[in-house]
Amino acid sequence: MAGDFGSVRRACGRDGHQLIGHPMQLAQIPFGTVDWSAVEPTVHPGETGTAFWRTQQFGEVRVRMVEYSAGYRADHWCSKGHILLVLEGILDTELADGRTVRLTAGMSYQVADETMAHRSTTVEGARLFIVD
């Protein structure tokens, strides 16, 4: 319910930490906002197509709004861990074990560093939000 910060306290605990599992450590990051449209994109050519990254660094955490052009295919296999959310389009993620996972808008994946090499492709283009 909007404005019900009591539920936030219950979910995070009285000391601000999650009650379930181990808390994520986001240290020394003051409250702030990002207008992603104002962040200058960097261009990253793929094997085919192009990726446009709008990147912000918060301590050790990199946060990106990424747009893949139609026909994009990454030019490398990535072993970095990510939490990735598809905002628009369809993303196919090739995995080193031969599987391909398809994500549509509203779907996400998470993978730890050095866990499963992966490579992104998209036929029609996609827009993603990535934390790593």
Give the 3-state DSSP-derived string for 62-89, with helices as H, strands as E and coil as C.
EEEEEEECCCCECCCCECCCEEEEEEEE
Residue 103, in any domain of the structure: yes
What's the CA gap between 120 and 73, in Å, rounded?
Answer: 6
Look up the CATH number of the domain holding residue 83: 2.60.120.10
Residue 57, in any domain of the structure: yes
Please tell me the pTM assigned to this model. 0.81
Residue 22, in any domain of the structure: no
Tally the domains of the chain: 1
Number of alpha helices (DSSP H) and beta strands (DSSP E) in the chain = 1, 8
Question: What pLDDT score was predicted for residue 15?
Answer: 53
Residue 7, in any domain of the structure: no
User: What single letter denotes the amino acid at residue 50?
Assistant: T
Give the bridge partners for 128, in sequence order: 66, 86
Mean pLDDT, residues 76-87 taken together:
95
Residue 95, in any domain of the structure: yes
Q: Look up the domain containing 111 and give its range.
A: 27-131
Q: Per-residue pLDDT tens for 25-65? A: 788 889 999 999 999 999 999 999 999 999 999 988 999 99
